[in-house]
Amino acid sequence: MTSQSHGLHVVPSGTALGTDDVEEIEMDLLLEAIHRAYHIDFRNYARSSLKRRLWRRAHQENVETLSALQERVLRDPMCMERLLRDLSVNVTSMFRDPSFYRAFRTKVVPMLKTYPFLRVWHAGCSTGEEVYSIAILLREEGLLDRTRIYATDVNASVIDQARAGVFPLAKMREYTKNYMDAGGSSSFSDYYVTAYEGARFQQSLMENTVFAEHNLASDASFNEFNVIMCRNVMIYFAKPLQDHVHDLFYKSLGMFGVLALGHKESLKFSRHEESYEVLDPLEKLYRRIA
């Protein structure tokens, strides 16, 4: 029997899909494959930035198409490991956006000083640079001893890196400047020792810090916090996933708890906008009031 007798039609050659449309299909299939094989869902990520990251991995694996990347990802867990790193690790630095830390000192710290015990959630901590930054700030403000920091990320390998607290020596000049611009009250070099592998930060900074794997897309709230920091993480998410994460943060913040977002993020599209007051409109500091 021919296919025609089943009512099927051969696609005329003139209507073949363009390579661009094929790329879109390949991307959908790759994300579906990752979800089914590894139970990690990137289908709710912002498509434009995700596509760039997928292609970067494809080029580094020396494959020409996203289909070829899919085949490798399905058959080689190490390739998936590399891709996961590309997709989930955000570029960060110590005291990134010094003006944010200055605002945190003047507008959030005085409130925090009224509490006997503090819980801070650093969601999407990546390789840890900003966890050490906030720990240094809290120590200088006399708050670190009564603070527990929960630093979480979806990627287990970056959490190990964050826990180790070793950062490239070549970055210390930049970080020292950031630290001073951020209102640091001590000498930045007091916080680390130079080791052969880099600048190793004092482990005493992390005495009260819990590092853990946590997936903002699928894991639940796990405590009630005075501060939640999540800067430049949600920009990689599409709107529905952003909404989900805002729900999660709202549930996880105590009354008058503070939410810190990245410079170009906001609550303006969130259904919880009315439940927060703006502490600093440029630094994107919000306080839950309802």
Interface residue list for another protein (CB under 8 A)? 20, 46-49, 51-53, 90-92, 232, 234-236, 239, 242, 262-266, 268-269, 282
86/141 with CB nearer another protein: 86
For another protein, the closer CB: 93 or 202: 93
Are 97 and 203 a contacting pair, CB within 8 Å?
no
| Shortest CB 270 distance to another protein, Å | 10
For another protein, which is the closer residue by CB, 49 or 186?
49
CB of 265 to another protein, least distance (A): 5
Of 242 and 252, the one with the shorter C-beta distance to another protein is 242
Tokens of 82: 């590399």
CA distances, 114 to each of 106, 264, 289 (Å): 14, 30, 17
CB of 90 to another protein, least distance (A): 6
Contact of 129 with 100, CB cutoff 8 Å = no
Residue 105 DSSP one-character state? I
Q: How far is the CB of 226 from another protein (least distance, A)?
A: 25
In this complex, which beta carbon is closest to another protein, that of residue 138 or of residue 260? 260
In whole angstroms, how close is the CB of 8 to another protein at the nearest point? 30
- The Cα-based distances of 147 to 65, 106, 136, 165, 208 in angstroms read 48, 18, 12, 19, 7
- What own/partner pairs with CB < 8 Å and gap ≥ 24 does 76-80 have? 80/34, 80/37, 80/38
Instruction: Kindly give, in sequence order, each residue whose CB lies less than 8 Å from that of residue 6, ignoring residues fewer than 6 positions away.
Output: none
